[in-house]
Structure 1
Amino acid sequence: MDTNDGDEDEFGFSRNYFLAKELSGSGNKFSKKLSDINLVDEQDLRAAVSCLEFKHKTEIQSLINHYKSLYPTWLFELRCGFGLLMYGFGSKKAMLEDFASTALADFGVLVVNGYLHSINIKLVVIAIAELLWDQIRTKRKGHMSNMSQPFRSQTMEELLDFLDGSEFKDQDLVYVVIHNIDGPGLRDGESQKWLARIASCSQIRMIASIDHVNAPLLWDKKMVAIEFNWCWYHVPTFAPYKAEGVFLPLILANSGTAQTAKTAAIVLQSLTPNAQSVFKVLAEYQQAHPDEEGLPVNQLYTMSRERFLVSSQLTLNSHLTEFRDHELLKTRRHGDGQDCLYIPLSSEAIENLLLEIS
């Protein structure tokens, strides 16, 4: 009896399988496409996301309270020379800042928002050095008078030598909190090498969070075990990535022509009026010559100089560098070997952009 029931179940499963395959082949059931979705404006979508109800507050608060009970352990491990690396689903920003404001209140703390797209590593090191300098000067007046203080004029090696100085005492520490050490502005190999050098300095203790699944691939064995000297903690908070996700594109947001032009206009408004005018020259030329590869650099220089927008090739190059950094400009090779400049936007988007910046 049991055997017959098993055969019937297996027959029913097989029949349902082939029936599903037959239905899927008809093309009626899966005719919808992503392009058929009626996308909404990005601002409206972000406003709707901000109004979503935060669920399971009690359970999440219980989880956070458990992590707070680990603060003394984390502080002890930091004082022993280890770094703390937090991973797990959910934003860890609020938790790390709470740890810094409570357990590290008596020490110098620098917070780095690694989720930002533009981060200057040298400015981070300068800020650490200035914080350490002020901390030591407050504790021991006159003790560091022999050190040349203008850190901004020093090289990275000189700054790191200062942070790794042998004349410091054990309590002269700076705690560096990095939200998303695997962020888009820190993922390159050079930035990670500098961060590892910073973490290995005798006066620095680092606390960082990661959220990308492949973040450990950023480091080799030496960086993990010696320079960063991580203590790994799985601390899922299930908190929304409000701050970390503000610069990420929303998949259901309208990324059409109007939105693209609006975004480019915001970038251009942060540049100088002359830079905007140079971009306008290039945009007008591209609109008037849609079939060409682009505008040669020397021709753009001549046109800009005639309109008194630039005084030298060096000035023009600085504007072009700003355009490239903001992904408003690209270069491609013309058939005769010249490098031609073009704006990687549709004709309609460029037209809207010209209206925006006018």
Structure 2
Amino acid sequence: KNKEAVSTTPYRLRKRLPAPGLYLESESEYSASCSEEEEDQQEVNTVLSGQKTPAKTKASCVPPPRNTLPRKNKKDKMSNLVEEYFEAHSSSKVHTSDRMLQKLRKRRLDQQTLHDLLKKAPLAYAAEIKDLNQQHESLFSKWMLQLHLGFNIVLYGLGSKRDLLEKFRTSVLQDSVHLVVNGYFPSITVRSILNSITEEVLDHIGTFRSPLDQLEFIIKKFREDSSLELYVLIHNLDSQMLRGERSQQILAQLSSLPSIYLIASIDHINAPLMWDQAKLSLYNWLWYETTTFKPYVEETSYENSLLVQQSGSLALSSLTHVLRSLTSNARGIFRLLAQYQLENKDNPSYAGLSFQDFYQKCREAFLVNSDLTLRAQLTEFRDHKLIRTKR
């Protein structure tokens, strides 16, 4: 028998030959121990050309194959998803429907026609709503008792509470001095409320430097005369014109007087956020949930509607409500100014009426006694956006 040649090279020094088909990236893939063994093997040349390296030693120094291709695809996929997310959220365009009221072929209605149509619309659950409002009306005597005990009353709930407060005024306050404030009116101001108290209730003729001075005057008068009593009813105390910090502070100080009784309604869901702890202590509210389910017809009559043709009817309606709240002298001043405006409407060179000429006309009509009174009245007209002035 022919004896096979056996290598005498130690097993540790045998050259490691990679099997064909194994994944090799570069020589740097080998470990440091393999490199040292290859340097030692350069001195050993006794390995036969046909000798096969055992499978056990082949895998000892060859690094395991790396599955880099799927991992790379996974990273690319994640980066693409991230880019798509930010691209989708970085767009400033808002996609909305192009179905608008302007594209309707039906022409818009005037304010009075829309009001008449809404009035003819049947009210759902009319009997149940009537019973609910009767339950609220049964609390009128309780409200009066609590007002005289030093509390103020605020009404909240779904639906217009204007009719409920009006029923309270006509049935309970008919023989008492009371002031009604329509807070939903677009040009109502706290100054106009203070003017109504000083002129109509206190019969004071004169001007004040600021609403705070006027408030101090009212507080002083009510504290000096204990027989003075005033009921103040405010529709929509949380309206846009009255929800300011200054207006709420003045109204809260007024309501804290023992002889001023305040009952108000709110409709905004975040209305209580207007008041901090100091204002709440001044108001001293008793909260009543008075859900009426009645539509806000009067409260929204001053808003511009997409169903209504824009005209001067809205401004005329606002003017009517302002004139109702003015004193007789203030109405006379405005009437005098309107007459002069109408007389000169066809004059192309008419640039307005000077203050001195207008003051002279008001003095002749016994409407004012000083220029300060006229300036204060013109300021109120300007606050209500009834007139425009220029220097």
Alignment check: 8 A CA contact 1:131 1:174 kept: no
Secondary structure of residue in 1 paired with 2:141: helix
What value does the CA root-mean-square deviation take over the aligned residues?
Answer: 4.1
Q: Would you say 1:203 and 2:203 are equivalent positions?
A: no
Q: Aligned ranges for residues 1-358 of structure 1 at < 5 Å?
A: 32-37=99-104, 38-42=106-110, 43-105=112-174, 107-125=176-194, 127-128=196-197, 150-153=203-206, 155=208, 156=214, 157-165=216-224, 168=226, 173-223=229-279, 225-255=280-310, 259=311, 272=338, 309-310=352-353, 326=385
State the TM-score, normalizing by the size of structure 2.
0.53
Deviations 1:63-86 (A, max 9, x none): 112212323332232122111000
Deviations 1:136-165 (A, max 9, x none): xxxxxxxxxxxxxx4232641112211234
Give the 3 Å change call, closer, same or farther, for CA 64–214 of structure 1 in structure 2.
Answer: same
Alignment check: 8 A CA contact 2:184 2:299 kept: yes
Give the 3 Å change call, closer, same or farther, for CA 323–101 of structure 1 in structure 2.
Answer: closer
Secondary structure of residue in 2 paired with 1:153: coil
Alignment check: 8 A CA contact 2:187 2:383 kept: no
Alignment check: 8 A CA contact 2:108 2:309 kept: yes
Alignment check: 8 A CA contact 1:126 1:151 kept: no
Secondary structure of residue in 2 paired with 1:47: helix
Give the 3 Å change call, closer, same or farther, for CA 153–264 of structure 1 in structure 2.
Answer: closer
Deviation (angstroms), 1:209:
0.5
State the one-letter code of the partner of 1:214: N
Deviation (angstroms), 1:203:
0.9
Structure 1 residue runs without a partner (length 5+): 1-29, 134-149, 285-302, 332-338, 340-358
Alignment check: 8 A CA contact 1:129 1:163 kept: no
Q: Distance in 2 between matches of 1:71 and 1:321?
A: 35
Deviation (angstroms), 1:249:
2.0
State the one-letter code of the partner of 2:108: V
State the TM-score, normalizing by the size of structure 1.
0.57
Deviation (angstroms), 1:322:
7.0
Alignment check: 8 A CA contact 2:344 2:350 kept: yes
Secondary structure of residue in 2 paired with 1:272: helix
Alignment check: 8 A CA contact 1:108 1:174 kept: yes
Alignment check: 8 A CA contact 1:84 1:231 kept: yes
Alignment check: 8 A CA contact 2:156 2:290 kept: yes
Alignment check: 8 A CA contact 1:126 1:159 kept: no
Alignment check: 8 A CA contact 1:132 1:173 kept: no
Give the 3 Å change call, closer, same or farther, for CA 280–215 of structure 1 in structure 2.
Answer: farther
Q: Could you tell me which residue of structure 2 aligns to residue 348 of structure 1?
A: none
State the one-letter code of the partner of 1:54: L
Secondary structure of residue in 2 paired with 1:115: coil
Deviation (angstroms), 1:110:
2.4
Q: Distance in 1 between matches of 2:383 and 2:165?
A: 35
Q: Distance in 2 between matches of 1:265 and 1:208?
A: 27
Identity of aligned residues (%): 29
State the one-letter code of the partner of 1:177: L
Give the 3 Å change call, closer, same or farther, for CA 152–220 of structure 1 in structure 2.
Answer: farther
Give the 3 Å change call, closer, same or farther, for CA 275–240 of structure 1 in structure 2.
Answer: same
Aligned pair count?
254
Give the 3 Å change call, closer, same or farther, for CA 59–200 of structure 1 in structure 2.
Answer: same
Q: Which has the larger radius of gyration?
A: 2
Deviation (angstroms), 1:180:
1.4
Secondary structure of residue in 1 paired with 2:205: helix
State the one-letter code of the partner of 1:32: R
Alignment check: 8 A CA contact 1:92 1:237 kept: yes
Q: Distance in 2 between matches of 1:199 and 1:41?
A: 42
